[in-house]
Amino acid sequence: MIAVVQDRYGPPARTLRVAQVEVPRPGRGEVRVRVHATSVHADIWHVIHGRPLPLRFMGSGLRRPLPPIPGTDVAGTVDAVGSGVTAFRPGDRVFGSTVRRHEWVHCGAWAEYAVARDDRLVALPADTSFAQAATLPSAGHIALQNLRDDVRAGPGRSVLVNGAGGAVGSIALQVTRGRGAHVTAVELPRKLDLVRRLGAEQVVDGTADDFTTHVGRYDLVFDVPGTRPYRRCLRALAPGGRYLTIGHEAYGRRGNRILGIMPGFFALMLRARFDERLRGPGTPLPDRSTTLAELGRLLHEGVLDPVVDRVLPLDRAVEALDVLTSGANVGAVVLAPNP
Ligand X SMILES: NC(=O)c1ccc[n+]([C@@H]2O[C@H](COP(=O)([O-])OP(=O)(O)OC[C@H]3O[C@@H](n4cnc5c(N)ncnc54)[C@H](OP(=O)(O)O)[C@@H]3O)[C@@H](O)[C@H]2O)c1
Q: 3-class SS at 96?
A: strand
Answer for the pair 252, 51: CB distance below 8 angstroms, yes or no. Answer: yes
Please state the closest distance from residue 195 (CB atom) to ligand X, in A: 9
Percent helix, strand, coil in the chain (nearest 5)?
30, 25, 45
99 contacts ligand X (rule: CB under 6 A): no
Please identify which residue in 191, 242, 279, 288 interacts with ligand X, judged by CB under 6 A: 191
Answer for the pair 334, 37: CB distance below 8 angstroms, yes or no. Answer: yes
Q: What are the residues facing 19 on neighbouring strands?
A: 3
- CA pseudo-torsion sign 18, 22, 8, 225: positive
φ, ψ for residue 8, nearest 5 deg: -150, 160
Please identify which residue in 103, 112, 223, 294 interacts with ligand X, judged by CB under 6 A: 103
129-158: which residues touch ligand X (CB under 6 A)? 138-139, 142
Rounded Cα gap, residues 164 and 170, in angstroms: 5
Q: For residue 302, what are the contacts with CB-CB under 8 A and spacing of at least 6?
A: none
User: Of 196, 191, 163, nearest to 331 (Cα)?
Assistant: 191
327 contacts ligand X (rule: CB under 6 A): yes
Please state the closest distance from residue 207 (CB atom) to ligand X, in A: 6
Please state the closest distance from residue 145 (CB atom) to ligand X, in A: 11
User: Of 222, 107, 98, nearest to 157 (Cα)?
Assistant: 222
Q: Which is nearer to ligand X, 80 or 244 (CB)?
A: 244
223 contacts ligand X (rule: CB under 6 A): no
288-307: which residues touch ligand X (CB under 6 A)? none
Please identify which residue in 48, 246, 307, 321 interacts with ligand X, judged by CB under 6 A: 246
Please identify which residue in 166, 241, 331, 337 interacts with ligand X, judged by CB under 6 A: 166
169 contacts ligand X (rule: CB under 6 A): yes
Q: Which is nearer to ligand X, 85 or 224 (CB)?
A: 224
Please identify which residue in 98, 162, 184, 245 interacts with ligand X, judged by CB under 6 A: 162
187 contacts ligand X (rule: CB under 6 A): yes
Answer for the pair 58, 20: CB distance below 8 angstroms, yes or no. Answer: no
Please state the closest distance from residue 51 (CB atom) to ligand X, in A: 11
Q: Which is nearer to ligand X, 180 or 229 (CB)?
A: 229
32-61: which residues touch ligand X (CB under 6 A)? 39, 41-43
Q: For residue 183, what are the contacts with CB-CB under 8 A and spacing of at least 6?
A: 159, 160, 161, 164, 173, 176, 177, 199, 200, 201, 202
Please state the closest distance from residue 140 (CB atom) to ligand X, in A: 8
Please state the closest distance from residue 2 (CB atom) to ligand X, in A: 23
| Residue numbers at the binding site for ligand X (CB under 6 A) | 39, 41-43, 103, 138-139, 142, 162-163, 165-169, 186-188, 191, 206, 224-225, 227, 246-248, 327
